[in-house]
Each structure stands twice: as C-alpha cells, then as structure tokens.
Structure 1
Amino acid sequence: MKAFGKILGLVLLGLLLIIVALGFALTHLFDPNDYKEEIRQIARDKAHIELTLNGDIGWSLFPWLGLELHEAGVATLANPTQPFADLQMLGLSVRVLPLLRREVQMSDVRVEGLNLRLTRDKDGHGNWEDIGKVAPADKQAATPAISTGETTAATPATTEKPAQPIRLDIDSLTVNNARVEYNDEQSGKQFTAESIQLSTGPIHEATNTPVKLTAFLASTQPAVRVRTELKGELRFDRVLKRYQFEDMKLSGEAAGDPLQGKTLTFAAQGQLLLDQAANVAEWNSLKLSLNQLRAIGELKVHDLDKTPQLNGGISIAQFDLAKFVDSIGQTLPAMAEGSLSKVELVSRLSATPNSIALENINLKLDDSSFSGRLAVEDLAKQSLRAQLKADTFNVDRYLPPKSAEANSAAVARKAEVQSSEASAVAGPGNSPLPDAPTKGAWSTERLLPVERLSKLDVDADLSFGQLTLDKLPIQNATLKANGQGGLLKLEGLRGELYNGSFEASGNLDVRQPTPQLSLQTKINRVPVERILESQGQTPPVKGLVTLDSNLTSSGNSQKALVDSLNGNASFVVNNGVLLNANLEQQVCQGIATLNRKTLSSEPRGKDTPFQELKGNLTLRNGVASNPDLKVRIPGMSVKGNGDIDLRVLGMDYRVGIVVEGDKSDMPDPACQVGERFVGIELPLRCRGPLELGAKACRLDRDGLGQVAAKLAGDRLSEKLDEKLGDKVSPELKNALKGLFKR
C-alpha cells in the first residue's frame, strides 16, 4: 500500500508538472495577437459588437487567467467605424479554479484612458441602444427556418432553479484618466465628465469597500464646469438587493454662466441606502453646505417601483440669504439694506416627482417668525399653496424703493404744495385762493408683472400678529387670496389699525391686455391723521374716519389706475379737528364785513373742532364729486359741494356756513349776530391742494356780495312795512319788496 501511495503521488505530481508545462507552453508558444481577426469575428458573431484591437494582447493561463489589452475600441455593428468606447489599456486577471465554483476572484483591475462617447441623434435614438444588436445586413441575410409539415414532439417543460449570483472577490479597481461624453443632437446640449480617477479597496460581497472618485464635470447651454470628489465605503448584498454607501463625503466647486463669474463651493455628507427589495432609498445623517448655507436633515424615498414618495426633515442654520444669493452670481430685487440677513428654517419635507411641500414650518426671517405650510402642488403649473402665521412682518422692508421718476414727481408736487401753502394765510382770511394744483401725483411706471400673474396658480391663507404695509402698523391682520388663469381674487384682507378696523376684497383680472381691478373697502373709526402722518404728509384734519367704497379701475401704472377710477364711496369723520384753519375767524370776518366793521381781537385759536363731517362721493375717471358735504361745528352748521381731483390731488368746493355768531364770554363787537343775520348763509370757496384742507378756504367775495344785497333788501322791506303800514294793498307791498330784493 505504501508503494501504491507513493506511485499515486508521483503520478499526480507528474500530471501537475504537465499542466504547468502546458500552461507555460500555451502562454509562451501561443500568441493571441496572431488571431486578432478571429477574435474580432467572434465578437461580431457572439457579442454583436465591432472590436478594434490596435495594440498588443497579453495573457496568462494558470493559475491566473490574465488579460491585458492595449489601444482597443468597441463600436456597434450599425456604426462599426464610429467607436462609442475606446481605451488605452485594460488589465485584469482571474483565478481559474474558483471559476468552477461560480466565484470570481480577481487581482487588481486597471483601466487606463477609457473614453466613452454616448450620442442621441435628432430622431432621439441613442448609439448605446444598438449594443449587442445584429447589423441590418446580417438580419437580411438570415435564412428563415423551413417548415417540413412534420409535428415535432413537444419537449417536456422543465422548471429550472434561479441561477445563483456569482460571488465577486476583487483585490481592487483602478480607473485612470477616463472620459465620458454625452451629446444630444435634439437639444444641442453636451455633457462631459473628464479626468475621472476611481480607486477602490478590496471588493467583497457584504463587506465595506473604500471608494474614491474624482472628476471634472461640464455642460453646455448653459456653460457650467464642476470639480468634484467623492469618498466613502460601499457595501452591497446582491441576494438581498441591498446597497449602502456609508460615510459618504461629496465636495467640490462649480463655476459657469449661471454663476456670473462667481464660484459655488459645495459639500455633502451622510449615510446612503438603497433597498430594492423594499423599494426604499434613504439618506440619513445628511449634512449639506453651499457657500454660507449649512443644513442637516434626513430623507427617505419609498414606492420606488411606483410613484416615488419622498419624506424627511431639514434644518437650515441661520445665514445671510442676501450674501448667499450674491455669492452665486444672482441678484435679488432692490430692498432695504440689511434685509434677508438672518434666515433660518426647520421643516418637514414631502415630495413627489411633480410636487413638493414644507410642513410644520418654523421659519425665521430677519425679525419675523413664520409657522405653517408651504407647498407647490404641481411643479409644472407652479401651483403655490400657503398657510402661514407670523408674529410680525414688515412688508415695506422687502419692497423696492421709489424710482427716480416717482421721486422726481414727488419733489415737483411737494414744491407746488409748499408754494400754495405759503400763500394760504389762514389768519384774517383776506389772502387770495391758492391755485388749483396741476402736477401729476402718480407714477407712470409699469406696476404689475402681468406675464407672471397670468400664469399664477396660488391659494394663500396668511395671518400676522402685526403687519406693516405702506408704513401702516396693522394688528391681527389676515389675508385670503387665490388666483388661477389670470384671475386673482382677494377674498379678504382684514385687520386692526390705530384702534380702528378695516377690511377689503376685490379682483384683479389680467386675462386681457389692460388689467382690470375692482376693490371694495370698509374702514371703521380709524384716525385719519395717523394714516396721513404714516405717509409722511402733514394732516389737514384729525378725526375718526369711517369709509365704505366700491371702486373699479384699469391700467398697469399708478397714473392709469387713478385716471380710470370709477365707483362710489361714503365717508364720515367723527370728533375731528380742522387743523391750522380757524373757520370761526373766517365767519367773523364775513359778519364784520357785512356789519361794515373791523375785527378788533386776535384769533383765539388756529384750529376748528367739529362733531361730524360726512358726505358721499361719485367717482368718474379719477374725479370724485361730492354733492352733499355736511359738517357739524359748535355754533354753526356747514354744507357744501365740490370735486376732488384725485389725478392731481386737488379740490374745488363751495361751502355755505350758517352761524350763531360769536358765543364767547367776551365777543368781538364786530362779530355779533343780530336778528337780521339769522338764517343767513355765509359763503366760502375752498380750492387748492388736498393736503391744505381748510387752509385753502376763503370768503367767497362774490357770494358775500349777494348776501349783502339780500340783507339790504330785507332792511328796505322792513322800512316799507314801517312807512306804508296798511295804506296800500298787500299785493303792491309785496311787489315793492321783491323789487328791492332783486
């Protein structure tokens, strides 16, 4: 037995030496470069590709099946002269015996100078779609099978077990200086990845594999260039269909036309997971930075086999949004300095391929805090939905400043008002009437972005603890609005203003060339002087205003909207004061004139208090007609009629005052009312800039002459009664009185 074992050992040793000798002979005596044409033909017949072998082929047989290609290229049979891939060198080797156990054990795999060109033609056909397909000429040459009419015995079906995946075991993978190019002839766009460097550690199933990838990415239309680096550890399990990229770190820089010469530095980290069996993808421990912006969060996508659904959370640390936008070459609309300097966001995130929503928002914007929900329900239609609450928000801070044209118009109008005010001496009331204003008060600049508004799809429900709008501090403000297809509806804007309240509703229709506006407003007991002071104007009147209006207009500038303003309004001002205008002094001047006396006392005050001022307005093309102005002033009653020209903010009124005279403890002798003045209406004329208020009012000399003539007629009538008595008939007496009153 010992001899037999010894002999068997010698036989096995001899066989092994023979195999080694054959391997040596095959690798040294057999040169595959002599069979390049045969290899190409096999590639055509079996793989249906055109193989170009310009360089040498190196190989080894045992114990490693090694292959090394130089200057090789691959093309489709449809375009054999246009390789879609070529490389300078490919080197790999595989252990022979593990292949028999369906195990692939490789040494280092090296790829040098890979160049991959992918093209989609004008018909939308990609050159990679022809890989592995038979050439058209080969299809035509194929001979169809001839039916013999004989029935072939059915082959019994056999159930095959699913093939087990091949086990991979690779020492490392290295790719140097690779390039991938994609051209789309339909759009004219081109994308490239150049200087690709890829290196890995040992690649084993269910084991972490270190991976490092660097590349330069570029595109046209727009021109963008990106330098990027990716690191991490890849882990995969093909049986479970589970793939992980742990400790992923992506970093780089981007530049190009969209950045306007600026650079975007970016970085991302996290744990990535793709579970195909569960149709789930996750990005946990997410960290993201884009220049000044820093964010953390987590994202999860499920239903990968259907319509993917994304959920997660994101937290953006406080950053300067204005500086960030500038750092990426973009420009924000002009706004107050320091705006958008403190922005912070925490929110839940949900999205589909056509929608995105931020839920449970906690947004801090400068000095404001918002909570609620913000969503785009249809990305293609930009369907915006907003339900937000804020503690305080200053809209004026984010609006553009007035244009040069508006400033110029404001300066011109201010000069005109100051000139009129200088001539409006309210003391003795003998100065001439101010001139009617002629300077336009409104800008002709384009006001509304009609193109954007016509495409807007929005539904907003907003509320604010305090809202500053046009310098007005509005408390407990709410806004509900929606718009679609060019019709925007303001369902309600409500709030409290200076212990009063207001509400407004209306429509803006931009579906036609000229925008159409309708607006309904209600203001309840709001101090009118506070509103005017907030606009930087000197108020001519104080009091609590109540206003109801229903207005329409059209146009796309302030001037056009005012020039086409039509509708109706009613107003009441209670417990008010006409500032810097002593109507009592004006009236006393009129009575003194009728008494042919001169006032001996100085005015006791410069203002005129009143109990109520009310009237109705009918607006036609920017001019408001007021036929029924009434004012209740202690000691007198006032009524009037006139127009307010909103186009130039001017007024022209005729006012009648019925007085009781000077009721003070020490009345001016020239301002005493006798019986003959009872029921007499003293006329005033008010003309000039609306800002002057009652300071633009003067005694109407023409009207005062008519009053004097009436008083003289009444005086003569009294004399006739005394002289004639019952000596003449009543008819003759009345005729004589009428003659003197004409």
Structure 2
Amino acid sequence: MKAFGKILGLVLLGLLLIIVAAGFALTHFFDPNDYKNEIRQIARDKAHIELTLNGDIGWSLFPWLGLELHEASVATLIKPDEPYADLQMLGLSVRVLPLLRREVQMSDVRVEGLNLRLNRDKNGHGNWEDIGKLPTAAPAPGSTPPAAAGEPVAETPAQPEKPPQPIRLDIDSLTVNNARVEYNDEQTGKQFSAESIQLSTGAVHDSTNIPLKATAFLSTNQPVLRVRTELNGELRIERALQRYKFEDLKLSGELTGDPLQGKAMTFSAQGQMLLDKAANVAEWTGIKISANQLRALGELKANDLDKTPQITGAISIAQFDLAKFVDSIGQTLPAMAEGSLSKVELVSRVAATPTSLALDNINLKLDDSSFSGRIAVEDFAKQSLRAILKADTFNVDRYLPPKSEKAASATQARQTEVASTEADAMAGAGSTPLPDKPSKSAWSTERLFPVERLSKLDVNADLTFGQLTLDKLPIQNAALKATGQGGLLTLENLRGELYNGDFEAKGTLDVRPNAPLLNLQTRINRVPVEKILESQGKNPPVKGLVNLTSTVTGSGNSQQALIDTLNGNASFVINNGVLLNANLEQQLCKGIATLNRKSLSGEPRGKDTPFQELKGNLTFRNGVASNPDLKVRIPGMTVNGDGDIDLKVLGMDYRVGIIVEGDTSAMPDPACQVGEKFVGIEWPLRCRGPLELGAKACRVDNERLGQVATKMAGDKLSEKIDEKLGDKVSPELKNALKGLFKR
C-alpha cells in the first residue's frame, strides 16, 4: 500500500507538472494577438457587436485565467464606424478551477479610461437600442427564405428552460479610473455627462459589506450646471433574497452653474438605504441632509415599486434663515420687510407618488407665526395645490412688496395736495372759497395680477387665523376659503372680526379675458370707519360704526383700470359718529347771520359735529359714485345731501341742506339766533374737494341762500296779507296773492 500511495503521489505530481508546463507553453508560445480577426468575428457572430482591438492582448492561463485588453472599442453592427464605448485598458483574472463549480473568483478588476457615449437622434432613436441587433440585409445564398404569407409554419415544440443556477461572485477589488459617460439628445439639445469617474471597492462577496468610494463631476447644458460629487459607504448584495443595502451612505459635493448666478451650494446626504425587490420595498432611514444653511432629518419608505410607488415618511427641517439661504444659491426673493423669512422651521409627515406630494400634520414656524394642517400638490403637471392650514398670527403685509417709487411719489404728491387744501379749509373755517376738486389720480397703474401664473393655477385653500394682519388691518378669527382653476379664481368666503365689528367678502376674479374681470360682494357690520381709514394712512373725516353692503364689478390689471371701470351699488349707515373738525353749527350760523344782515362777533371754533346717524346709497358708474340720498341726523337738525364721489381722484361734489327741526335754543353767536322763523328751512351748503376733507370742505351756498331769502320774504308777506285782509276776501284770492309774492 505504501508503494501504491507513493506511486499515486508521483503520478499526481507529474500531472501537475505537465499542466504547469502546458500553461507555460501556451502563454509563451501562443500569442492571442495573432487571432484578433478571429476574436472580432466571434464578437460579430455571437454577441452581434463590432469589437475593435487596437492595442495588445495580454493573458495568462493557470492558476488564473487572466486577460488584459488595451485600446479597445465597441460599436453596434448597425453603425460599426460609430463606437459607443471605448477604453484604454481592461484587466481581470479568474481562478480556473472554481469556474468548474460555477464560482467566479476574480482578482483585482481594473478599468482605465472607459468612455461611454449614449446618443438619441432627431427621430428619438437611441444608439444603445441597436446593441445585439443585426443589420437588415438580403438573405445569403443557400439560406432558407421566410415562409410566404398564408403558408403554415412548422412550430418547434418549446423546451422548458431550467432556471439557471446562481453564480457565486467573488472579486478581490474593483477599480475604475478616469471614466466618462455622456448622453446627447438631438431632439431637445440637452446634454448630460459624468466625467473623471473614480470608483474603488474592497472585496466583493455576496451577503457581505463591500466598502465603496466613488467621485465624479456631473454636468448638464440646459441649464448649465456642474456638480462635484463624492460617495462613500458600504454596499451589501444579497442576491438570493433580492435585497440590496447601502449602509453608512455619505454623499457630498458642490453645485455651481448659471441658475446660481456665480454662487455655489455645498450639500451632503447621509443615511441607510435598502432595496428589497422581492417585497417591492425601498427605504431610506436615518436621513441627514444639508445644503448651505439648511439642515434636515427624516426617513422615507417606498412601497409598490412594481406598480405606482407610494412614498411615506417624515421630515424635520431645523430653524434656518430662508432669506439668506435663497441669496446664497443666487436666487432673489420678492421685496419684503427686512427680517422676513429669517426664522423658518418645519416638521411634517410626507406622502408622495411620482405625480404628487403631500405634507400632513404640518408644524410650520414662519418668523413669529405658527401653522398647522396640510399642504399638498395633487398633480405636478397641473400644479394642483391644496391647503388646509390654521395659524395663530400672520402678518401678510411684511411679505408683500413695498409700494414702488412711482406709486409712492404719486401718493406723496396727492397727500401734499390734500394737506394744503385742508390747511386752507381749516384756516378759513368756511369763509374761504370752495376747495378745488383734486386733479391727481389716487391709484397705481402698475400691473396688479400675475395673469400667466393665475391662469395655470389649480388651487383649493381653506385657511384660518387667530389674528391676520392684512393691509394694516388687524383681523381677529379670520377665515379664508378660495378656489382657482382654469383662470377663474373664486373667493368663497373671507370673514373675520375687525375692531369689535365683523366683515365678510365673496367674489371672483376671471383672468381668462384680455382684461381680468373682478366681481366682489362685501358686508361690513359695526366697524369703526376711522380705524379703517387710519390704517390706510388717510386722515378720517368722520368717526362712527359703519354698516356697509356692496356689490361691485371692474375690469383691468391695475388699480386705476379697476377703478375706471368700477360699476355696482352700495348702501351704508354710520351710527353714533362725529364729523371731525367740521362745525356744521358754524356753517348754519353764518347763513343765518347773512339773512339777519349781521356779522358774526366771535371767532369760528374748530370743534367736531356729533351725529346720530349718517346713511345713504351709492350707485357706481365707471368709477363715479352717485349718492342722491345722503342723510345725517344731528340733535336738533337734519342734513340732506345729493352729490357724486369721483373715486378716480377721491374727490367729492355735494349740495347739502341743513334743516333746523325745532331746537330753537340760542346759538353761540348773537348774530345767528335761530328763533321760530328759521325752523323747517333748509339752509344750503356746497361741499367740494378731496374726499378726505369731509365736512371741512363745505361752504355756505350763496346762490341757493338767495332762494331761501326770497322764500322767507314771501312767507313774511303772506303773514301780512293774512293780518291785513283777514276774512274780508275769499281764501282763493289770498292764496293767489301769496303765490305771487313767493315767486
């Protein structure tokens, strides 16, 4: 037995020496470069590709089957002269004996200078679509022609295919240096590229963590962007379970390009990623994202990967300065108050599909405001925005652009005009001529509505606020419901409490016509009118609680255009108010003194005139409001008015009558004692000038005062006729004589 074992050992040793000698002989006396043409032909016949080998082929046989290709390129048989890939060197080695067990054990795999070119032509055809295809050509002589139409074709019974056994993958390392991938779309002119690709891995084994590091420069031309990226982590491949993990993922880089206006954004992303193809699930947990000043945490999970992926998760964005962040990436926010968007923080649940995104259970902090609720884009293509939000406080004004210099100059000029007129009116206290009508427009001609954006808007919003500041008005318990679709925006309801009163508004804005159409209905209940005017920077001519209902329409895309086309109607009542710096008693006293042919002995006093009620109805026609039934009830007298308000310049022109109703107490000046003879007479005033002056723009109407004097003289003659004639003549004759003198 010992001899047999010795002999067997010698035989095996001899066989091994023979194999080694054969491998040495093959690798030293057999040169694969002599068979390049045969190799190219095999590539054409078996793989249907055009393989070009410009460099040398190096190889080894045992115990490693080694191969090195230099200066090689690959093209399709359809376009053999247009390679879609080339490389400087590919080197790999495979252990021979494990191949017999369907195990791939490779040493280091190196790829140098890989260049992959993908191109889609003007017809939308990609060059990669021709890989493995044969060119269309006439059938070769002796080949079997295809069956003619209608002829039965012999069917070859299908042989059941056995599922291939999985091949074990075992690579010591993979290295890719200086690779480049480019994509060109001739239809759109878009180009994408990944350059200077560097990839290195540790040992590649199934179901073990594979250290991986990659760097690349990415770029695109529409828009021009360039990204420097670096990726680190450990990749785990579990092929039997169809599970792929990327643990301790760290992606970082820098983004530059035209959209950033010469600035740069540094970014990083970390976390654990999982793809489970068997369960059609993908996860990204432990997310940490940063982009300049922005920092975020979260987790995401995607289900139904084989159908329509459904993404769920959560996101938390730490407080950051949004305004500075936007500036740091070369973007510009609309002009707003200084310090706005300096403190932004968000916590929310996330739900998304390839066409939609929803943020649920929102906790959003925006400067001094806190929001909760839901925001969703139901369809990216249609920009379908849905919002249900509740806020504690929100100041809209701080996020609106300030008035332009042109509008500010026009406003300042108008205020100067009004202030000068008001000073003259107060100085004269009713003795100066009537103020001139204002001549300067009170409204901006700048574009008001972003028609292009509004025409594409698809929105449904339901918003509530504990306190909402809008146009400097502090609105309590505000609620807004609005929709917009296809260019028609509908304000279903805007309501709130204002200065212990309340208001409500509804309306539509149609931006589909060339000139947008506005329709608005409003209701105001017991709101101090002076507070509204003061909030707009205007001097209130009146105080009191106003009740107002109105329905108006207008068209155009500027304030001035809307006012110029304003039509509709309104009714108003102001209760328990005061006409500020307007002494109607003084105006009445001046008229009485004139009829008494006396002069006022005292200086006019600039006190207010309280009233019980001020009411009327307005009819708007192209920016002019007609008010034929103005009525003011003042203790002891009634004021009637009939006039117009020109909203284009905020001017008024009224004829006013004051009627003493029976309070015959002494007036403050002896020259204007009322007495019984003045009871029931309508004393005429004319009010003209800027609307802000209110009753301060009123003067005695001397023309109409003469008519009052004539009437009073006629009444006095009628009394004398009665006294002298008594019952001596018939009543018909006395009435005829009275009428004669009253003409």
Alignment of 1:357-368 (within 5 A): 357-368=358-369
1:144 alignment partner in structure 2: 144
Indicate the larger mover: 290-299 or 121-130. 121-130
In 2: Cα distance, 1:139 partner to 1:246 partner: 54
342-351 vs 730-739, which moves further: 730-739
Cα deviations across residues 640-674 of structure 1 (Å, max 9, x unaligned)?
A: 11111111101111111111577668853323222
Shift of 1:738: 2.2
Deviation at 1:596, TM superposition (A): 2.0
Instruction: Quote the Cα distance in structure 2 between the aligned partners of 1:140 and 1:444.
Output: 79
* Letter aligned with residue 206 of structure 2: E
Q: What percentage of residue pairs aligned between the two structures are identical?
A: 80
Q: Out of 604-613 and 236-245, give the one that drifted further.
A: 604-613
Secondary structure, aligned partner of 1:704: helix
Query: What is the letter of the counterpart of residue 30 of structure 1?
Result: F
Q: Distance in 1 between matches of 2:614 and 2:386?
A: 44
Q: After alignment, is 713-722 or 73-82 more displaced? A: 713-722
Secondary structure at the counterpart of residue 330 of structure 1 = coil
Q: Report the 3-state secondary structure (helix = DSSP H, G, I; strand = E; otherwise coil) of the residue aligned with 1:424.
A: helix
How far apart in 2 are the matches of 1:390 and 1:665?
A: 58
- Does the aligned pair in 1 maintain the 2:666–2:673 contact within 8 Å? no
8 Å CA contact 1:427–1:582 kept in 2: the answer is no
Q: How many residues align?
A: 740
Deviation, 1:595, is: 1.9
Alpha-carbon distance in structure 1 between the residues aligned to 2:659 and 2:52: 112
Deviation at 1:603, TM superposition (A): 5.0
Give the equivalent residue in structure 1 for 2:546.
545
Query: Structure 1 pair 590/99, CA: closer, same or farther in 2 (3 Å)?
Result: same
TM-score (norm 2): 0.97
Aligned partners of 1:544, 1:152: CA distance in 2, in Å? 97
CA distance in 1, matches of 2:250, 2:155: 61
Distance across 2 between alignment mates of 1:123 and 1:478:
54
Instruction: Work out whether residues 601 and 669 of structure 2, in 8 Å CA contact, stay in contact via their aligned partners in 1.
Output: yes
Q: CA deviation at 1:5?
A: 1.7
Looking at structure 2, the residues matched to 150 and 351 of structure 1 have their Cα atoms a distance apart, in angstroms, of: 53
Distance verdict in 2 for CA 1:249–1:151, change over 3 Å = closer
- Alignment check: 8 A CA contact 1:609 1:633 kept: yes
1:252-263 matched pairs, under 5 angstroms: 252-263=253-264
* Equivalent residue letter for 1:421: E
**2:694 aligned partner:** 693
Residue identity matched to 1:576: G
Letter of the structure 1 residue corresponding to residue 85 of structure 2: A
Counterpart CA distance in 2 for 1:153 and 1:591 is 122
Aligned to 1:178: 179
Q: Which runs of 5+ in 2 are unaligned?
A: none
Provide the residue aligned with 1:61 in structure 2. 61
After superposition, the Cα gap between the structure-2 partners of 1:470 and 1:34, relative to the gap in structure 1 and judged at 3 Å, is: same
**In the aligned structure 2, how far is the partner of 1:370 from the partner of 1:8?**
87
Distance 1:233 1:588, change over 3 A: same
1:463 corresponds in structure 2 to: 464
**Residue pair 2:112, 2:176 contacting (<8 A) in 1 also:** yes
- The alpha-carbon deviation at position 42 of structure 1 amounts to 1.0
Residue 116 of structure 2 corresponds to 116
Alignment of 1:380-395 (within 5 A): 380-395=381-396
Quote how far apart the aligned CAs of 1:471 are: 0.4
Give deviations 1:301-352, integer Å, cap 9, x for gaps.
1100001111111111111111111111111111111111111111111111
Residue 102, structure 1, aligned to residue 102, structure 2: yes
Q: How does 1:77-226 map to 2 (within 5 A)?
A: 77-137=77-137, 143-144=143-144, 161-226=162-227
Indicate how the Cα distance of structure 1 residues 152 and 719 shifts in structure 2: closer, same or farther if over 3 A, else same. closer
Which position in structure 1 is the counterpart of 2:434? 433
Q: Deviations over 1:275-310 (max 9, x none)?
A: 000001111101111111111100111100001111
CA contact (8 A) 2:664 2:679 kept: no
**Alignment partners' CA distance in 1, 2:658 and 2:375:** 59
Q: Structure 1 residue 721: deviation in Å?
A: 2.5
Q: Distance in 1 between matches of 2:152 and 2:451?
A: 77
Are residue 290 (structure 1) and residue 291 (structure 2) matched? yes
Change (3 A) 1:158 1:556: closer
Please name the residue that 2:51 is paired with.
51
Distance 1:263 1:62 in 2: 53
Aligned twin of 2:555: 554
Match of 1:281 in 2: 282
CA contact (8 A) 2:426 2:606 kept: no
1:546-591 Cα offsets, whole Å, 9 max, x none, are 0000111111110110011111100000010000011112112222
How do 1:501-650 and structure 2 match up within 5 A? 501-603=502-604, 606-650=607-651
Q: Partners in 2 of 1:25 and 1:629 — Cα distance?
A: 120
CA deviations on 1:246-296 (whole Å, 9 max, x unpaired) are 000000111111111111111000101100000011111011111111111
* Residues 739, 426 of structure 1: alpha-carbon distance in 2 compared, 3 angstrom cutoff: farther
Question: Distance in 1 between the 2:425 and 2:520 partners?
Answer: 35
409-418 or 539-548, larger mean C-alpha shift: 409-418
Matched position secondary structure for 1:136: coil
For residues 191-220 of structure 1, the C-alpha deviation after alignment (integer angstroms, 9 at most, x for no partner) is 111111100000000000000000111111
Relative to 1, partners in 2 of residues 1:667 and 1:226: Cα closer, same or farther, differing over 3 Å?
A: closer
Cα distance in 1 for partners of 2:671, 2:652 equals: 31
- 1:494-547 deviations in Å (ceiling 9; x for gaps): 000000000000111111111111100000000000111111111110000000
Q: 1:150 Cα shift?
A: 13
User: Per-residue deviation at 1:719?
Assistant: 2.2
Name the amino acid aligned to 2:571: S
For 1:267, the equivalent position in structure 2 comes to 268
Note the alpha carbon deviations across 1:166-195, whole angstroms, 9 max, x for none.
001100000111111111111111111111
The alpha-carbon deviation at position 716 of structure 1 amounts to 1.9
Partner of 1:676: 677
Q: Distance in 2 between matches of 1:633 and 1:113?
A: 97
C-alpha distance in 2 between matches for 1:135 and 1:734: 121
Q: Is the 8 A contact 2:667 2:674 kept in 1?
A: no
1:706-721 equivalences in 2 (<5 Å): 706-721=707-722
- The separation in 1 between residues aligned to 2:445 and 2:708, in whole angstroms, is 46
